[in-house]
């Protein structure tokens, strides 16, 4: 970047110091550089100690113009206010993202009428993902970086190179100032006040009859620390959008089953899901019999890692336990950045397996029992002299428009099995037999009528479950939200830095006192970035220590710059 040489050389102060263009107060003695300022008695503009910032160069190029735009606090405030207004708009109606399954193009019209339709058409139903909102956030990010850089470097320079003796105008035009008579010799008077200042925590430097006392300078870096924290935070949030850093799935885990977590080599077993409600005694009287309040949702979960045979479908994967946790709403399972949160549950029992027996309906003879697993049934079974071959499996039985049997979903809501039975007294090609393990499905889909059609009138074989002990249910299903979010540590680091900066900047104040004693006259000026009230009080008490009584209010030069 090209350095611009100052074209006009009125930046040289009468004290001999050459200041860069844009300087308001001489870097050395603090005298205002603008001649028009000399006769004024208004408070000085003390922001950034009146030093020149990069954005104040003359004859800016394109990059300088962009820099200047983002370095303006005014622009930053506009960006904050626009973001604030945009964020408000997004809360008028629920955002699309709060629904799992809607057609947004009709939902808003139907639910909220014309206003809803306009809301949707303006794109406000996804405000926070919209290009303009994201652009605003990115612009705030740019403003944070550039505003900080533009100010922190000159300010750092100014504060590390402070001169002790300041111009009289600099002192009398501070918001806090005092001009009074002293009788002692300058050096003697100055030496007397050093100790009380040090006691209050000031670092004091003197130069003959001049003095500079300063404390808590670090508080000046507070805002910049906040901005660094915000930048880290914003970058971390942006990084969450990168592939591979983020995983978010909602999975169902029936009790007692081990389910693979997609895209990982991990399996999670729900050993037991518990839901508890408060008893009548635990509830306030007013609620008894009216309200039901949940007390606990808990999934006893075990996490396994697959160590071998992970991809071979013909073999059982070999699993090693890696973590175990009782997952509750505020207590997720955590393993190497993967977290499983309690999300939802379903108490509808899910059929896992049955042990039907093959019986002869005319004689009542039972040929044999076998175990039929709903999810992974064997291909063939033996019951006495009969062989049952599994031809088709339907997890959620239904009929297609053409009247063909189909499975409506992969969930075992209405499982159905089509067997081909071979054996004595059956046709050579075998006999087809439809089996619905659930009683309700048997009746609804008319199992016997179907089988009568398939096997004809001479049919004598039936599959029947003898007792409830032959039925295996999973009592409930827990739904877990399984997440990986590799950017989270950076989000927290950013938040931590923001807090640190806030505490530095808001709970301490940078206080400086300059004074000169010259020809029997004491001129004192004081500056702080916040809390003038406390500062005035402190100066009064310090002066009190050397037997000088000053009224707090008389120190105030007016102007109200806080």
Interface with other proteins by CB under 8 A: which residues? Answer: 45, 47, 73-74, 76-77, 80-81, 83-84, 87-88, 90-91, 94-95, 97-98, 112-113, 115, 127-128, 237, 248, 278, 282-287, 293-297, 328-332, 339, 341-343, 481, 483, 488, 491-492, 495, 498-499, 502-503, 506-507, 530-534, 553, 556, 558, 560-562
**Looking at beta carbons only, is 247 or 366 nearer to other proteins?**
247
Residue reference for tokens 């605003």: 136
3-state secondary structure 298-321: EEEEEEEEEEECCCCCCCCCEEEE
Choice between 38 and 78, CB closer to other proteins: 78
H helix runs in 95-173, sequence order: 104-121, 131-160, 168-172
With respect to other proteins, which residue has the nearer C-beta, 10 or 544? 544
Closest to other proteins by CB, 471 vs 487, is: 487
> For residue 353, which phi and psi values (nearest 5 degrees)?
-155, 160
CB of 34 to other proteins, least distance (A): 15
Within 168-307, where are the H helices?
A: 168-172, 186-199, 222-239
266: exposed, middle or buried (Cβ count in 10 Å: 0-12, 13-18, 19+) = buried
Output DSSP code: residue 376. Answer: S
- What's the Cα-to-Cα distance from 482 to each of 246, 260, 534, rounded to whole Å? 11, 11, 52
- Closest approach, Cβ 85 to other proteins, in A, equals 9
Instruction: Please state, in angstroms and rounded to a whole number, the distance separating the CA atoms of residues 143 and 319.
Output: 51
Q: Indicate the residue among 85 and 308 with the shorter CB distance to other proteins.
A: 85
User: DSSP string covering 274-298, please?
Assistant: EEEE--GGGS-GGGTTT---EEEEE
In angstroms, give the least distance from the CB of 556 to other proteins.
7
Q: How far is the CB of 118 from other proteins (least distance, A)?
A: 13
User: Given the complex with other proteins, which of 35 and 286 has the nearer CB atom?
Assistant: 286
Per DSSP, the three-state class of 212 is: strand
Instruction: Please classify residue 535 by burial: count the beta carbons closer than 10 Å to its beta carbon, then call 0-12 exposed, 13-18 middle and 19+ buried.
Output: buried
Beta carbon of residue 55, minimum distance to other proteins (angstroms, whole number):
15
Residue 165 or 227 having the CB closest to other proteins: 227
The least CB distance from residue 336 to other proteins, in Å, is: 16
Least distance to other proteins from the beta carbon of 403, Å?
A: 21
Q: How far is the CB of 240 from other proteins (least distance, A)?
A: 10
When the beta carbons of 466 and 534 are compared against other proteins, the nearer one is 534
Strand, helix or coil for residue 416: strand
């Amino acid at each position: 970047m090209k350095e611009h040489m100052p074209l006009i050389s009125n930046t040289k102060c009468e004290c001999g110091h050459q200041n860069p263009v844009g300087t308001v107060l001489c870097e050395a003695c603090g005298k205002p550089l603008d001649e028009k300022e000399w006769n004024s008695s208004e408070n000085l503009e003390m922001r950034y100690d009146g030093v020149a910032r990069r954005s104040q160069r003359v004859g800016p190029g394109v990059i300088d113009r962009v820099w200047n735009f983002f370095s303006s606090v005014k622009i930053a405030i506009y960006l904050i206010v626009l973001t604030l207004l945009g964020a408000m708009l997004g809360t008028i109606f629920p955002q699309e993202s709060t629904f799992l399954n809607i057609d947004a193009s009709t939902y808003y019209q139907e639910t909220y009428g014309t206003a809803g339709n306009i809301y949707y058409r303006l794109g406000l139903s996804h405000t926070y993902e919209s290009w303009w909102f994201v652009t605003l956030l990115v612009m705030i990010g740019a403003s944070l970086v550039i505003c900080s850089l533009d100010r922190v470097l000159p300010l750092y320079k100014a504060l590390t190179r402070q001169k002790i003796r300041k111009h009289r105008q600099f002192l009398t035009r501070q918001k806090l100032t005092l001009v009074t008579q002293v009788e002692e010799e300058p050096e003697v008077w100055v030496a007397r006040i050093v100790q009380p200042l040090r006691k209050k925590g000031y670092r004091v430097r003197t130069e003959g009859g001049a003095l500079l006392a300063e404390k808590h300078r670090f508080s000046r870096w507070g805002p910049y620390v906040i901005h660094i924290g915000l930048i880290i935070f914003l970058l971390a949030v942006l990084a969450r959008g990168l592939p591979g850093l983020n995983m978010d799935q909602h999975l169902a885990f029936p009790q007692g089953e081990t389910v693979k977590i997609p895209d990982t080599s991990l399996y999670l077993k729900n050993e037991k899901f518990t839901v508890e409600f408060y008893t009548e005694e635990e509830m306030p009287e007013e609620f008894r019999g009216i309200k039901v309040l949940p007390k606990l949702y808990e999934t006893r979960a075990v996490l396994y890692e697959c160590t071998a045979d992970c991809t071979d479908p013909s073999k059982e994967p070999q699993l090693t336990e890696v973590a175990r946790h009782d997952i509750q709403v505020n207590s997720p399972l955590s393993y190497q950045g993967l977290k499983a949160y309690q999300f939802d549950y379903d108490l509808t029992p899910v059929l896992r397996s049955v042990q039907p027996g093959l019986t002869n309906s005319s004689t009542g003879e039972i040929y044999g029992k076998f175990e039929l697993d709903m999810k992974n049934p064997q291909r063939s079974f033996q019951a006495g002299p009969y062989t049952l071959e599994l031809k088709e499996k339907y997890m959620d039985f239904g009929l297609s428009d053409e009247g063909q049997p189909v499975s409506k979903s992969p969930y075992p809501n209405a499982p159905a099995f089509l067997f081909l039975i071979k054996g004595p007294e059956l046709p050579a090609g075998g006999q087809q037999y439809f089996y619905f393990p659930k009683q309700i499905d048997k009746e609804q889909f008319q199992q016997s009528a179907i089988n009568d059609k398939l096997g004809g009138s001479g049919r004598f074989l039936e599959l029947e479950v003898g007792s409830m002990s032959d039925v295996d249910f999973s009592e409930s299903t827990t739904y877990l939200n399984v997440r990986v979010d590799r950017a989270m540590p950076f989000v927290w680091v950013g938040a931590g830095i923001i807090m640190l900066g806030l505490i530095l900047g808001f709970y301490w104040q940078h206080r400086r006192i300059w004074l000169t004693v010259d020809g029997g006259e004491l001129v004192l000026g004081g500056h702080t970035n916040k809390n003038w009230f406390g500062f005035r009080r402190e100066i009064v008490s310090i002066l009190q220590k050397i037997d000088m009584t000053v009224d707090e209010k008389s120190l105030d030069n007016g102007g109200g710059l806080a």
